[in-house]
């Protein structure tokens, strides 16, 4: 299943971000801790590298991710040049406040009333940038919504008298070349709902989770092994929750949406869909197939 999503406002957002980089000292990139590799926007990476700015990667939604896998991602990212990586949950204000201290360490030449530290925050849609910003400012100034692409314009925010933050709209890239990336992004609610089929996405997500977290899946949905195949799994959910279209027919579409939401809200358990090693293996396989 090939998934593509690149609304028109993102072309403008990319241009504005490129212009803003010239006047910012540091780039914060917010990722989804469940899919850190898939939620890296290659355009953001190239823009930052062109300007050679220090880089703070924030693996947000760590409360929903497998802590062991998150630790592996932090080690992986912290080995990269000019990059510092941390994990947190934007719901925890105390964790979010640590961001400012890290930013000051990464750009020690700035951060005074005369020379304020200028920070650009970027990321794909719906990774929690606005929630982080509101926590940093102790005020609801960035619009928050549980759907992709809520923020559509750039916003300059004075966090205090020595740190200025520029918020950018969530940005995708024009073409998702790795099919699995599209599936992960759709399942994690980063892509607009009009760009993918919820039923098909839910079944692909089911195949992935039953492979890497069989015990968690079995316990949450009270399924005895072996796992049911494909739509039989959704019928199981529909039956358990009484999702009926008409007598004798289960509403598997509603079950599909329910399964996706269960994953997105962390109700199934702490799940990471990819690790550094699984991503490296996936990219090697793709490159081999191309050649």
Same domain, 216 and 161: no
Task: Say if 187 falls within a structural domain.
Answer: no
What's the pLDDT score for residue 9?
A: 67
Q: What residues are paired with 59 via a beta bridge?
A: 31, 87
Q: Is 141 left (phi over 0), alpha (psi -120 to 50) or beta?
A: alpha
Count Cα neighbours of 66 within 13 Å in the Cβ-side half-sphere.
16
How many angstroms separate the CA atoms of 160 and 99, rounded? 14
Residue 49: pLDDT band (50, 70, 90) is: confident
Residue 149: pLDDT band (50, 70, 90) is: very low
How many angstroms separate the CA atoms of 281 and 24, rounded? 35
User: How far is residue 134 from each of residues 86, 91, 104, 141, measured CA to CA in Å?
Assistant: 19, 10, 19, 6
Same domain, 212 and 279: yes
Concatenating the DSSP letter of every residue in 86-146 gives EE--TT-HHHHHHHHHHHHHH-TT--SSSS-EEEEEEESTTSSHHHHHHHHHTS--S---S
Indicate the residue among 148, 167, 186 that finishes a domain.
167
Same domain, 23 and 156: yes
- SS3 of the chain: helix, strand, coil, percent, to 5: 45, 15, 40
> pLDDT digit string (tens) for 243-256?
998 777 899 999 99
Q: What residues are paired with 166 via a beta bridge?
A: 120, 156
Same domain, 26 and 159: yes
pTM for this predicted structure: 0.91
The torsion angle over the Cα atoms of residues 171, 172, 174 and 175, rounded to 10 degrees, is 170
Same domain, 37 and 107: yes
> pLDDT digit string (tens) for 166-197?
998 888 888 888 899 999 999 999 998 889 99
Please give the residue range of the domain that contains residue 249.
197-290
Cβ 167 vs Cβ 154: under 8 Å = yes
Task: Say if 59 falls within a structural domain.
Answer: yes
Number of domains the chain contains: 2
What's the pLDDT score for residue 112?
A: 86
**E strand or H helix at 51, and its extent?**
helix 42-51
Task: Residue 236: give its domain's CATH number.
Answer: 1.10.1580.10
Task: Residue 121: give its domain's CATH number.
Answer: 3.40.50.300
């Amino acid at each position: 299943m090939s998934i593509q999503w690149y609304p028109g406002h993102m072309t403008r957002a990319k241009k504005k971000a490129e212009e803003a980089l010239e006047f910012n000292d540091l780039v914060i990139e917010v990722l989804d801790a469940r899919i850190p590799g898939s939620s890296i926007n290659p355009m953001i990476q190239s823009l930052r590298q062109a300007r050679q700015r220090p880089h703070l990667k924030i693996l947000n939604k760590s409360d929903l991710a497998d802590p062991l896998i998150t630790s592996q991602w932090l080690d992986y990212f912290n080995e990269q040049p000019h990059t510092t990586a941390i994990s947190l949950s934007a719901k925890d204000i105390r964790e979010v406040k640590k961001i400012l201290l890290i930013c000051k360490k990464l750009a020690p030449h700035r951060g005074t009333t005369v020379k304020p530290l200028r920070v650009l925050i970027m990321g794909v849609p719906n990774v929690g940038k606005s929630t982080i910003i509101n926590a940093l400012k102790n005020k609801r100034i960035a619009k928050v919504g549980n759907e992709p692409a809520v923020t559509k314009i750039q916003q300059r925010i004075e966090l205090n008298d020595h740190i200025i933050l520029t918020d950018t709209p969530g940005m995708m890239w024009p073409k998702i070349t790795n099919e699995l990336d599209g599936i992960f992004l759709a399942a994690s609610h980063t892509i607009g709902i009009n760009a993918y089929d919820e039923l098909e996405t839910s079944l692909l997500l089911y195949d992935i989770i039953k492979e890497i977290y069989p015990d968690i899946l079995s316990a949450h949905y009270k399924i005895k092994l072996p796992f049911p195949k494909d739509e039989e799994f959704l019928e199981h959910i529909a039956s358990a929750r009484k999702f009926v279209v008409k007598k004798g027919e289960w509403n598997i579409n509603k079950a599909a949406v329910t399964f996706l939401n269960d994953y997105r809200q962390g109700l199934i358990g702490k799940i990471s869909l990819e690790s550094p090693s699984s991503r490296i293996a996936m990219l090697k396989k793709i490159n081999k197939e191309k050649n």
